[in-house]
């Protein structure tokens, strides 16, 4: 039934969002304007993993390029969890914080914060169904990725 609410989102992407397995560098899949962008990965020899390359910064070059798909992601979470106490407040609190970070700090620093923060929240949602941490800033991430880049 959620596919009827989100007809422009591929079923596999909708499933990934509902199962909390959608990665932050794949949020563009929730934005009908830019779905044709393919992710590019670079091998990180120090961690022996493939990571999104710097093209992520081109893909998400502005706040708008993250906020629109993030709104769709949050709409999916809200539609899937209509009785989740406080969920709208948690999600809108995060959107407000992201907008303030983008307005007051270097966008790439805010994007790095968002990427790691998003991954951590997705794991929490997947493991225990908890949404509350979306509303709480992560001081360690802010100190590491954002505050040095005013």
pLDDT at 120 (0 to 100): 97
CB 40 within 8 A of CB 8: no
β-bridge mates for residue 52, sequence order: 41
**Residues 11, 117, 134: CA angle, nearest 5 degrees:** 80
Count of structural domains, the chain:
1
What are the pLDDT digits (tens) for 12-54? Answer: 999 999 999 999 989 999 988 775 555 566 777 777 777 766 5
CB 78 within 8 A of CB 16: no
Q: Is the pTM of this model over 0.85?
A: no
* Alpha-carbon span 64 to 109, nearest angstrom: 15
For 120-139, what is the mean pLDDT? 95
Structural domain of 16: 2-149
Residues 6+ apart with CB under 8 A from 90: 131, 132, 133, 134, 135
Cα atoms found within 13 Å of the Cα of residue 113, Cβ hemisphere only: 29
């Amino acid at each position: 039934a959620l596919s009827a609410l989100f007809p422009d989102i591929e079923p596999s992407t909708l499933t990934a969002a509902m199962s909390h397995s959608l990665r932050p560098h794949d949020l563009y899949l929730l934005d009908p304007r830019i779905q044709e962008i393919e992710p590019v990965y670079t091998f990180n020899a120090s961690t022996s993993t493939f990571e999104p390359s710097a093209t992520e910064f081109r893909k998400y070059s502005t706040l708008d390029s993250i906020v629109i798909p993030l709104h769709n992601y949050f709409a999916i979470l809200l539609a899937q969890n209509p009785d989740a106490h406080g969920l709208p407040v948690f999600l809108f609190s995060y959107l407000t914080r992201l907008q303030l970070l983008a307005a007051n700090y270097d966008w790439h620093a805010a994007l790095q914060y968002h990427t790691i923060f998003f991954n951590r929240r997705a794991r929490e949602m997947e493991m225990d169904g908890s949404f509350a941490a979306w509303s709480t800033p992560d001081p360690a991430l802010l100190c590491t990725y954002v505050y040095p880049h005013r």
